[in-house]
Structure 1
Amino acid sequence: MSIRHLDALFSPASVAVFGASERAASVGATVWRNLAQGGFAGRLYPVNPKYSHLGQHKAYKNTDALPEAPDLAVICTPPDTVAPLIRQLGARGTRAAIVVTAGLDKAAKQAMLDAARRHTLRILGPNCIGMLVPHLGLNASFAHIGAQPGELAFVSQSGALVTAMLDWAAARGIGFSHFVSLGERADVDFGDLLDFLGSDPKTRAILLYIESIDESPKFMSAARAAARNKPVIVVKAGRSAAGQAAAASHTGALAGSDAVFDAAIARAGMLRVLTLHDLFLAAETLARFRDGPSERLIVLTNGGGAGVMAADEAAALNVPLAPLDDAMLRRLDAVLPGNWSRANPVDIIGDAPASRYVAAMDALAQDTASAVLFIHAPTAIVPSTQIAEALLPQVAKAPHRMLGCWLGDRAVAEARRRFRDAGVPDFNTPEEAVRAFSFLRTFRLHQAELLETPPARDAALAPDLPTIRAIVDAVLAEGREILTEPEAKSLLAAAGLPVVPTRVVGPSAAEAVAVADALGYPVVIKILSHAISHKSDVGGVRLNIGNADELREVCTSMLARVCQLRPDADVQGFTVQPMVRKKHAHELIVGASVDRVFGPVILFGAGGTAVEVLADRALALPPLNTPLARAQIARTRIHKLLQGYRDEPAADLDGIARVLVAVSQLLAEVPEIAELDINPLLANHEGAVALDARVRVSAQRPAGAANFAIRPYPVELVETLDWRGGPLTLRPIRPEDEAQHLAFLERLDPEDIRLRVFHSRRSIEHSELARLTQIDYAREMAFIATRPLPAGGEETLGAVRAHVDPDNDVAEFGVIVRSDLKGSGLGRRLMGKLLDHLRQRGTRRVEGTVLQENSAMLELARSLGFQADACERDDRSVCRIALDL
């Protein structure tokens, strides 16, 4: 991932257009016209040997003739000219190019990239529309229309969609900070732009149109970083799961690529919508209402019909309407006429004057946990503008609690404008408003998942790795990939999962009877064959066999049926297991497969023989912990049944979650696992047990923590040592350290804080604490030093942090030790831990900024080999220190 030289792409001082012309309907002419007429204040250079001038601008024959190296080059010339132009531009010092040219074959594209890489020249395209930066008047595209300045960034993989969206947005007055067509993404891709736009101060929200993702770890890392700062909203084309039907497991059949993409979006803290209209609807809502209540809704309306429409949409989208408690009913009764609805939606009747709106809103303000959807239909009794004016003092106090829906057009236009100016998101219909609120609820759930960074290994679920390795190695050594059911169950048992006892017998009814007599009836018998994966499909499973005579008959008929349907299958015998009967039990499925883009993925849902028909499943990317596993369970329809109903007790959800976490750990520890099914996993209030299992392994090692799209908590970096007569732990910070980290910061002297961050701090907000503790280990590292407390738990004594640029070139560091421990050597230990880590990850250079008066830090830096640059003087003296690694 890299944002290197993207400033030259999006904020150039000079632009040259190669292939600029006056030829009507040509790409070069359109790009040049858009650029020349767009209001760009920088220097413009048309390059084409056929012209001496294009309009008022002098034209140049080639790269060497240009008076300077342009910051940005836009290339509209034939495919065979692209690589030579990139080579010439890079040699002159150009650092960014937009390759509009289409038709580059594989060799030409690689030659272009090779030429660019030598000079770290960044390329947008090829085969792209170009891009627009409206606040600079920069229109380096061949779009038919420009874009208005605004705070939304739009990045599209489809060039045709770019032009359509520009037209659509212009008609609705929607403005943009950046509008980018990615084209074939030979260099600059979604990950690069998420990195750049995520920290761009002019961008309030990022909108993406995606057709495919190539480098999922890069994309996920950039997306998670951007989504911590601002809303990232995605439309993805291609929602079918074609090509999955041939998978060997139920999980493979159910885990279509689009469902995996949904899981990735959720884990990255982004929001996915299905239409372009919803893309902007969600952007409006999240930008204006991001800090508002999101759990439940109160509808306040002057029209019963509009309220019913809102309630219907809320029911369809599972948006809860807040109940009105007795205290709220009394408050509303006191200010509303007797024929008001006395329920939510709160219908204050169509003849309501402005004062009734104000009184009702005052009463509803007591429920701070609910958002208020205000719906108004214009009447002849009181002008809508008067109502808006009366409500503005309340709205201004808490705009983040209210959504507005002024029904109509010209009669409510001024009222709508005043609400929007006050910061209230506005919607055309009740259904649209409720749908927008549902986006907010989903976004909040995804943001919660973003904060979870579990380890790949859970110490409480330590698997028996030698046993697992022996099973996997033996299967692969035999040239097989599919484990037999007994092998699969042995593997799961070694991983700590609950499995039903299973015995293997030959193709003899007498052996089966002997084993069943020992286990006790009733029993289950299944065919055993390396060639048969789905045993039920060939009549290879019989349940609830009650005695020896029945078992003999079943064995004989089952063998005959399997031989008839699968004469090619080599039958080794049968497996026999006790018939598990659990009261109030549910049949579930837990599985794992490997997606070609996002790597290992875990499935949970309703199980049994109709699993594909029901298709009730939720996917999640590993690593998982209990909160993430519980969230995955909650995304299924069967979750409602698992919670209990009537006289049915709730299932052991924590036990089910432990199964999911154990599967996550198995994927991390055993990279050979390619597919896994536990179906059914029988679960009730007493726990869960795997009745059947299917596992496929591969010598290609598609799983393993190294292939996870999300980097796990790096438990391997945890180190415990002796310090001052007791244990000291140096470890990466975790999201759950927030309270502990706050206690550490509160024990720092104000002067120490000033020396660290250059100003005094009176308080620290939760959002900032979250940024300090919820980090992406792929691009940032924070080590803390902790020691145990006598009463239990631990305390933080110091912290060191480095943020690495996306190129892994330079890391910016900071270190601080609790004020009462200064001079103890703790800072040196933390710095040593950080520098060792950065060396191992290949970071080139470490830099920091230190106040000149912070002599202790400067002395520590010098002792570690840092060099200090000349200090800069303004109102204070600041030194820049650096260490080449």
Structure 2
Amino acid sequence: MSTRNLAHLFRPQSIAVIGASNREKSVGAVVMRNLLEGGFEGPIMPVNAKYQAVAGVLAYPDVDSLPVTPDMAVICTPPATVVPMIEALGQRGTRAATVLTAGMARHTLEDGRTYQEAMLDVARAYGMRILGPNCVGLLVPGMKMNASFAHISALDGKIAFVSQSGAVCTSVLDWAKPRGIGFSHFISLGDIADVDFGDVLDYLGSDPHTRAILLYIETIRQRRNFMSAARAAARNKPILAIKSGRVAEGAKAAASHTGALAGADHVYDAAFKRAGMLRVNDFEELFAAVETLARARPTKGERLAVLTNGGGLGVMAVDELIAHGGQLAELSEETIARLDQVLPETWSKGNPVDIIGDAPGERYEAALKALFESREVDAVLCMHCPVAISSATEVAEKVIEVARANRRVNLATCWVGEQAVREPREMFAKASIPTFDTPSKAVQAFMHLVTYRRNQDMLMETPASLPSDFTPATATARLVMENALSMGHDFMSEPEAKAVFAAYGIPTVETHIARTPEDCREMAAQMEGAVALKVLSPDITHKSDVGGVVLDLNTPEEVESAARHMEERLRATFPDAELSGFTVQRMARRPGAHELIVGVSNDPIFGPVILFGEGGTAVEVIGDRAVGLPPLNMSLARQIISETRIYKRLLGYRDRPPADLDAICLTLIQVAQLVIDIPEIQELDINPLFADSKGVLAVDARIKVAIPHNVGKRLAIRPYPKQQEEKVALRPVNGFPEREVLIRPIRPEDEPNHHEFISRLTDEDIRFRFFGLVHELPHSQMARLTQIDYDREMAFIAEGRRASGGRETLGVVRTVTDSENDSAEFSIVVRSDLKGSGLGQILLKKMIGYCRQRQTRVMVGQVLKENTRMLHFVESLGFRRTRTVDEGVVEVELDLAAPPTEAEGA
């Protein structure tokens, strides 16, 4: 999927309506009426052999008869006619169609294909994009285009709305218009045969007419395309989503409605957070959140101060804040003293700041100034309830006046009531100050800002380095897995699972296999201290539930006796279960350790998912869990842990020291890497994982294996491509001896070294690379350079060792590939003191090879004319000058479909 030809869909210059009709209330009649009444300025061409004219517009009997080739066609005809219509349009040169027809997937042709499959086959042959089928259509008010059968038009605005449900589309249109809410685009996706959420996000993410993107989602079909597009668009503008099917019953309904499986709700939550999106629950909250994000400045903190003339209102706001996981600002002694000077003695002396019911505008003004100057306050919610003594309008005037001089703290207002506060609310709206009619809505809006900032921070955060070197023995783990599969087992034995974990550096309990009770006794005699005995059976998953676990056995005789009783009990209770033997493992003595669970499940929508929470035998009852998508780093792992209830206990309390959080994070990263490297792993449990101040220990383990399907796209986010790493030798230059460097893809953890790398470039190198003098890039820009989406971008760095120890960045080459994989724009820069070492040629050849491997058509780049050294360098590798962009910039291009040049292959 891609943005190819989407401009023809969303900004067409001419439209054909296939199946246009004069029959009242037919879809073809409504579409024609909407297009004409909307005022679309290009040709509107009805196609229907039954009519000479439709709605007063000359009609045409077929596509071949149209006077001009339509950019986009709206198809309103029965299912059997759609495929031939797409064929005729494709031959004519039309590159986009909106198919309103329903039932395309329910009817089949003689060759077994559904009408929908046949329609897509024809459309792809002509490069035509299809919106729908079974959709309401689309509206682009800025173009006066209403290519839909909606009952009401849309106002022009800066918000894009994209929905899977046609009923939701018409309901939102009906809801939004009387509220004065306008749209840049209003798109009904329908059955998503072709154009999907990812395609639309890619298009709207760079659309200058769209300020925010709103999504109504029932299910996601293209996991990686969605995540890549959402993460890219969310860096440019807010993306807010409603996801239906929050509970199991709702999820079943969604699956029935869309004909696709609905993923678990908490996995959608994790995906939205990872993409930097904000999730809301209903339409009122959706549009309120848009207004909040648009009017409020980005919040830099989460500490809220509540200013009110009514104590009850303040308490309500605080209750709502705490219930939503917000943070109430703790006023400093300095701030309280400042408020004491300007408020009556009877004020609340804390937060919420109750300034008493008779507070006039001057008192609000003085209190707000004190709170705006307070360093422990990040945002203020200013509330007012109508009283006879004070004017709500006069108070609003003072609040607006103070707000104009405030440049640091976010401000929201809540004037409670109706008639008496109508004018103040209008005043706040004109002053672009967010205003709400209830404490609940005001606090909810503040938490939208907080949650949005948290999710954006996840996009931009520089992760910490791993606490220890992590080099998995993947070959060893794969050998164990292949052995289990070759024996026809769905589940690895516990010793096999622990061997896999050990290969990935996860500490495990010493465990041995014994076939008979006598073997158990001999094994225990060789082990020091108490042991645990467990049944070994591929047919028994939860051993403790069937009496298959006995702990604290102190002598070999006790172990043998326990094994005999266990065998007798299992033979009597589960006669059909295969008893492979027993495991004898050393008792893990970790008094006071927390019992955790780390697991992996396979979500039908987003693929492998990492789970973390409180473990033990009652794990399902406790229900304390958080999930995340692989791959993980230290920051993402800690974020997952922090979302559980057990997190606060892991930080330590009373005389219990904090658990080793770095070790827990590393375990999550190791498990994530394990499922990335070995796609045969379908499910995984470490329960319990003991965690305390000394580290972690995997006590019990379970891994389910199966031959995977669609290995290439099973992960929602493409992981670090380690296979691209290679070591090369540089020539001696400028006093540097010949040395070996590592060429590898860039990682988010490289940001600190990247700052240092840019600081060591000369002014000329910086100007040649950035077309201007940039001595230091802000964190947001540097994060964008180091936190790349490997599915769409690539950056190879050259990494060497400092003489003083540690690693440093010596050079970088990067490409950004368009959504068609047609063109990759490249840039390259090498540290100034290493020119002549051959590093530039090594890096660019590496990137050329990578782009050829991806089957990209061309590599292009822009070079300053005065940078003659770079021009000669790229031309030596086969690039040619194609055009002059402006007076000082030349574009160069390499045809990747052509055979490699001798210089490139050297």
TM-score bracket, shorter-length normalisation? over 0.9
Aligned to 1:869, what secondary structure does the other structure show?
Answer: strand
> Shift in Å at residue 16 of structure 1?
1.2
Could you say which residue in structure 2 is the equivalent of 1:405? 414
Structure 2 counterpart of 1:341, from 331, 344, 348 = 348
> Shift in Å at residue 498 of structure 1?
1.4
Tell me if the contact between 2:466 and 2:666 (Cα under 8 Å) persists in the aligned partners: no
Distance 2:135 2:467 in 1: 46
1:868-879 equivalences under 5 Å are: 868-871=881-884, 876-879=887-890
Structure 2 counterpart of 1:805, from 789, 811, 818 = 818
Tell me if the contact between 2:278 and 2:448 (Cα under 8 Å) persists in the aligned partners: yes
> Shift in Å at residue 695 of structure 1?
1.3
Could you say which residue in structure 2 is the equivalent of 1:78? 78
Structure 1 counterpart of 2:717, from 688, 705, 710 = 710
> Shift in Å at residue 786 of structure 1?
4.5
Relative to structure 1, is the Cα distance of residues 585 and 574 closer, same or farther in structure 2, using a 3 angstrom cutoff?
same
Residue deviations 1:792-827 (CA, integer Å, cap 9, x gap)? 445544433321111111112233445666676554
Could you say which residue in structure 2 is the equivalent of 1:285? 292
Could you say which residue in structure 2 is the equivalent of 1:484? 493
Tell me if the contact between 2:681 and 2:705 (Cα under 8 Å) persists in the aligned partners: yes
Residue deviations 1:168-199 (CA, integer Å, cap 9, x gap)? 11132221111110011111001100111111
Structure 2 counterpart of 1:502, from 508, 511, 521 = 511
Could you say which residue in structure 2 is the equivalent of 1:848? 861
Could you say which residue in structure 2 is the equivalent of 1:682? 690
Relative to structure 1, is the Cα distance of residues 457 and 301 closer, same or farther in structure 2, using a 3 angstrom cutoff?
closer
User: TM-score, normalised on structure 1?
Assistant: 0.93
Could you say which residue in structure 2 is the equivalent of 1:95? 95
Could you say which residue in structure 2 is the equivalent of 1:667? 675
User: TM-score, normalised on structure 2?
Assistant: 0.91
Distance 1:552 1:860 in 2: 76
Distance 1:598 1:456 in 2: 27
Aligned to 2:436, what secondary structure does the other structure show?
Answer: coil
Aligned to 1:722, what secondary structure does the other structure show?
Answer: strand
> Shift in Å at residue 132 of structure 1?
0.8
Tell me if the contact between 1:468 and 1:494 (Cα under 8 Å) persists in the aligned partners: yes
Could you say which residue in structure 2 is the equivalent of 1:158? 165
Relative to structure 1, is the Cα distance of residues 461 and 773 closer, same or farther in structure 2, using a 3 angstrom cutoff?
closer
Aligned to 1:480, what secondary structure does the other structure show?
Answer: coil
> Shift in Å at residue 787 of structure 1?
4.0
- The answer as to 2:325 corresponding to 1:312 is no
Tell me if the contact between 1:591 and 1:604 (Cα under 8 Å) persists in the aligned partners: yes
- The answer as to 2:485 corresponding to 1:472 is no
Residue deviations 1:642-699 (CA, integer Å, cap 9, x gap)? 1122222222222222221221121122222111111111222222212211111113
Distance 1:501 1:607 in 2: 20
Distance 2:849 2:459 in 1: 28
Structure 2 counterpart of 1:519, from 523, 527, 530 = 527
Could you say which residue in structure 2 is the equivalent of 1:179? 186
- The answer as to 2:888 corresponding to 1:881 is no
Could you say which residue in structure 2 is the equivalent of 1:252? none
Aligned amino acid, residue 880 of structure 1:
E
Distance 1:41 1:98 in 2: 19
Distance 2:749 2:296 in 1: 26
Structure 2 counterpart of 1:646, from 654, 672, 692 = 654
Structure 2 counterpart of 1:834, from 847, 861, 885 = 847
Could you say which residue in structure 1 is the equivalent of 2:44? 44
Aligned amino acid, residue 860 of structure 2:
E
Structure 1 counterpart of 2:707, from 693, 699, 719 = 699
Could you say which residue in structure 2 is the equivalent of 1:366? 373
Aligned to 2:63, what secondary structure does the other structure show?
Answer: coil
Bigger shift: residues 859-868 or 89-98: 859-868
> Shift in Å at residue 34 of structure 1?
0.7
Structure 2 counterpart of 1:123, from 130, 145, 148 = 130
| Identical-residue share of aligned pairs (%) | 53
- The answer as to 2:828 corresponding to 1:815 is yes
> Shift in Å at residue 11 of structure 1?
0.8
Paired residues in the alignment total 872
Relative to structure 1, is the Cα distance of residues 765 and 465 closer, same or farther in structure 2, using a 3 angstrom cutoff?
closer
Could you say which residue in structure 2 is the equivalent of 1:169? 176
Tell me if the contact between 1:8 and 1:96 (Cα under 8 Å) persists in the aligned partners: yes
Relative to structure 1, is the Cα distance of residues 727 and 393 closer, same or farther in structure 2, using a 3 angstrom cutoff?
farther
Could you say which residue in structure 1 is the equivalent of 2:257? none
Distance 1:124 1:842 in 2: 27
Distance 2:41 2:705 in 1: 60
Could you say which residue in structure 1 is the equivalent of 2:258? none
Residue deviations 1:709-744 (CA, integer Å, cap 9, x gap)? 111223333344333323444433332333443444
Residue deviations 1:9-65 (CA, integer Å, cap 9, x gap)? 111111111111121110011111111101222221122222222344222221111
Distance 1:769 1:592 in 2: 32
Tell me if the contact between 1:451 and 1:735 (Cα under 8 Å) persists in the aligned partners: no
Distance 1:556 1:868 in 2: 82
Tell me if the contact between 2:798 and 2:810 (Cα under 8 Å) persists in the aligned partners: yes
Relative to structure 1, is the Cα distance of residues 9 and 453 closer, same or farther in structure 2, using a 3 angstrom cutoff?
farther
Could you say which residue in structure 1 is the equivalent of 2:259? none
Distance 2:648 2:94 in 1: 59
Aligned to 1:571, what secondary structure does the other structure show?
Answer: coil
Structure 2 unmatched ranges of 5 or more: 108-112, 253-261, 897-906
> Shift in Å at residue 144 of structure 1?
0.7
Aligned to 2:61, what secondary structure does the other structure show?
Answer: coil
Tell me if the contact between 2:464 and 2:635 (Cα under 8 Å) persists in the aligned partners: no
Could you say which residue in structure 2 is the equivalent of 1:233? 240
Distance 2:545 2:3 in 1: 53
Relative to structure 1, is the Cα distance of residues 657 and 743 closer, same or farther in structure 2, using a 3 angstrom cutoff?
closer
- The answer as to 2:426 corresponding to 1:417 is yes
Distance 2:412 2:586 in 1: 58
- The answer as to 2:624 corresponding to 1:599 is no
> Shift in Å at residue 463 of structure 1?
2.7
Could you say which residue in structure 2 is the equivalent of 1:609? 617
Structure 1 counterpart of 2:224, from 199, 217, 221 = 217
Distance 1:217 1:304 in 2: 50
Could you say which residue in structure 2 is the equivalent of 1:427? 436
Distance 1:758 1:324 in 2: 48
Tell me if the contact between 2:748 and 2:786 (Cα under 8 Å) persists in the aligned partners: yes
Tell me if the contact between 1:585 and 1:683 (Cα under 8 Å) persists in the aligned partners: yes
Tell me if the contact between 2:460 and 2:780 (Cα under 8 Å) persists in the aligned partners: no
Tell me if the contact between 2:594 and 2:691 (Cα under 8 Å) persists in the aligned partners: yes
Tell me if the contact between 1:303 and 1:349 (Cα under 8 Å) persists in the aligned partners: yes
Distance 1:821 1:528 in 2: 60
Could you say which residue in structure 2 is the equivalent of 1:249? none
> Shift in Å at residue 557 of structure 1?
3.4
Could you say which residue in structure 2 is the equivalent of 1:782? 795
Aligned to 2:23, what secondary structure does the other structure show?
Answer: coil
Aligned amino acid, residue 717 of structure 2:
I
Aligned to 2:828, what secondary structure does the other structure show?
Answer: strand
Aligned to 2:794, what secondary structure does the other structure show?
Answer: strand
- The answer as to 2:155 corresponding to 1:148 is yes
Distance 1:45 1:701 in 2: 46
Could you say which residue in structure 2 is the equivalent of 1:328? 335
Relative to structure 1, is the Cα distance of residues 79 and 400 closer, same or farther in structure 2, using a 3 angstrom cutoff?
farther
- The answer as to 2:742 corresponding to 1:733 is no
1:125-140 equivalences under 5 Å are: 125-140=132-147
Structure 2 counterpart of 1:573, from 570, 581, 585 = 581
Distance 2:203 2:692 in 1: 49
Distance 1:502 1:829 in 2: 48
Coordinate RMSD, CA, aligned = 2.8
Distance 2:485 2:477 in 1: 13
Structure 2 counterpart of 1:619, from 617, 627, 645 = 627
Tell me if the contact between 1:673 and 1:701 (Cα under 8 Å) persists in the aligned partners: no
